[in-house]
């Protein structure tokens, strides 16, 4: 592994976040028995991908310098 990617693009990180979130929800009494953690992780990852794309677009539109 020689390539480096941002932490927010890691499926392992998002799966861990979903797992911790599910555990925390159980502690606070939220029923999570019917949730599919794999599907939830995939949905969260897709949302993060969409949000990062939107941020990139707005970043480029609002930029004051050209890419060189």
Q: Are 63 and 29 in contact (CB under 8 A)?
A: no
pTM of the model: 0.55
Query: 19-63, pLDDT tens digit by residue?
Result: 888 888 878 887 777 778 788 878 877 887 888 888 888 877 777
């Amino acid at each position: 592994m020689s390539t480096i990617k941002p932490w927010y693009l890691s499926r392992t990180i998002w799966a861990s976040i979903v797992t911790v979130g599910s555990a925390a929800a159980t502690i606070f009494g939220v029923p999570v028995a019917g949730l599919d953690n794999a599907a939830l992780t995939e949905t969260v990852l897709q949302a993060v991908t969409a949000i990062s794309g939107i941020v990139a677009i707005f970043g480029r539109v609002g930029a004051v310098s050209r890419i060189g």
